[in-house]
Amino acid sequence: MTYRLLRRLLFKLDAERAHAVALHALRAGRLIGANALVAGDTPGTERRVMGVRFPNPVGLAAGLDKNGDAVEALASLGFGFVEVGTVTPRPQSGNPRPRLFRLPEDEALINRLGFNNKGVDYLARQLERTRFRGVVGVNIGKNRDTPVERALDDYVACMGRVYPHASYITVNVSSPNTPGLRELQHGSLLDDLLSGLKAEQQRLSAAHERYVPLVVKIAPDMSDEQLLATADALIRHGVDGVAATNTTLERPGTTAARVHGQETGGLSGRPLMERSTEIVRTLGEHLQGRLAIIGIGGIASGQDAVRKVDAGASLVQLYTGLIYRGPGLVGEIVRHMHGPQSDGPVAGPVP
C-alpha cells in the first residue's frame, strides 16, 4: 500500500485520531521490519554537534511523540535523532477538542493542543524502558496553571527527572498555546530562566558525571531586534543550542483563506518554510558558530533540508512534512544530504 493511499484513509479520520492510529501503526511496523524497508538505505552522515555524536543530521521534531511511547519505532525510520515531548511536570489534558486541523492545500497543520501529555514521570519511565541507544532529545515545558514567574520551578523539575535519559534537553518557551509562555523568550524573564537552568545543568552534570546540552526553542514571530536580543542572552548564559523555529501565529500566503485557516493556534508545515529559514539565516550570521542551530519548519524534501543547512543549521528536524509526504521522507532527505552538500556547520560550545 503506498503512502498516498494510506494518507487518504488517515485523512478521513479526525486529525488527532489519525495521529494516534499512525503511531500505533509505526510501532507495529517496527516489529515486523516494515519501517526499515520504508526507510531504505540511510547512509551515515555523522556529525558531532554540542559534543553529541549524531549518526545523521535529520531528526524528529517534538510534538509527534509527546510521551516517549514510540521512540524505537520512529528511530527505525532512519532518523539520526528523535526528540520527544513537550512534557510538563504534571500530566495535563491540554486544550478542548477539536484542537488539531489539516490544511492539505498548503501541506500545513494548525494546532492548539496545549502541551497535552502524561507528565514527566511517565515519560521518564518510557525512556528507562526503551532499548533504543541512539540520540534522544527531551523537550520540556511548564504546566498551564504555573505562573510565568514560577516557570523555572517546572523546567527544573522536568530537567532533573529526564537528565539521566536525555542526549540533550530542549527548553520550550515558544509554544503559542500556553498563555504567557512566549514572554519567557525576552528580557529579565529569559535571563532569570536561563540563569536557573544553567545552574541546574551544572549541578546535574556533577551528580551524574555527564554533561547534557541545553537547547532553547524559539518562535518565528519575533522582530529582528527581539531575535538578536534573545540570541545574545543565549550566548551570555552559555546555552548550547537554539532550535529555530516553533509554530507561527501568522498566516502566510493563502493559508488564512483555507478551510480551518482562521483557527487559532500555531501553524506548521510548508507556509512556515521561508520565515523559519530567514530566522536560521539571521541567527547563523549573528552567532558565527557560537551556538548550534537546529533548523525546523516546512521541511518536506531534501532540498528544503539543504536550504536550512546552507542558512546556518547544523541539524534539521521534521514533523508536518511526515504527515503529508509519509515516513519515506526521512530516508529521502538523509540520502539527499549525503555527499559534499552535507558538510554543515558543527557548532555549539563543547564542554
The DSSP-derived string for 180-218 is TGGGGGSHHHHHHHHHHHHHHHHHHHHHHT----EEEEE
- pLDDT number for residue 351: 40
- pLDDT number for residue 33: 79
Provide the 8-state DSSP code for 104. G
Question: Within 13 Å and on the Cβ side, how many CA atoms surround 57?
Answer: 33
Phi, psi of 299 (to 5 degrees): -75, 120
Below-50 pLDDT ranges, the chain? 340-346, 348-351
In the numeric block, the cell 529521502 is attached to 332
Burial of residue 339, with CB atoms counted within 10 A of its CB: 0-12 exposed, 13-18 middle, 19 or more buried: exposed
Question: Which positions ≥6 away from 21 have C-beta within 8 Å?
Answer: 10, 13
* Fold entry, domain 3-338: TIM Barrel (3.20.20)
Is residue 336 within 8 Å of residue 41, measured between CB atoms?
Answer: no
The amino acid at residue 75 is A
- pLDDT number for residue 339: 59
**Which among 102, 268, 103 is positioned nearest to 176, based on CA atoms?**
268
Is residue 47 within 8 Å of residue 54, measured between CB atoms?
Answer: yes
Cα 84 to Cα 122, 258, 323, 344, distances in angstroms: 12, 30, 17, 24
User: What is the spatial distance between Cα 199 and Cα 57, in angstroms, rounded to a whole number?
Assistant: 29
Condensed to tens digits (0 to 9), the pLDDT of residues 61-109 reads 999 999 999 999 999 999 999 999 999 999 999 999 999 999 999 999 9
Domain assignments of the chain as residue spans, ordered by start: 3-338
Q: b/e map of 321-338 (b: 16 or more CB within 10 Å)?
A: bbbbbbbbbbbbbbbbbb
Active site residues: 175
Global pTM value: 0.94
Number of helical (H) and strand (E) elements in the chain, helices listed first: 12, 13
224-236 helix and 273-287 helix, angle to the nearest 10 degrees: 50
Q: Cα 58 vs. chain centroid, distance in angstroms? A: 11
User: What is the spatial distance between Cα 38 and Cα 330, in angstroms, rounded to a whole number?
Assistant: 9
Burial of residue 145, with CB atoms counted within 10 A of its CB: 0-12 exposed, 13-18 middle, 19 or more buried: exposed
151: left (phi over 0), alpha (psi -120 to 50) or beta: alpha
Burial of residue 253, with CB atoms counted within 10 A of its CB: 0-12 exposed, 13-18 middle, 19 or more buried: middle
- pLDDT number for residue 1: 55
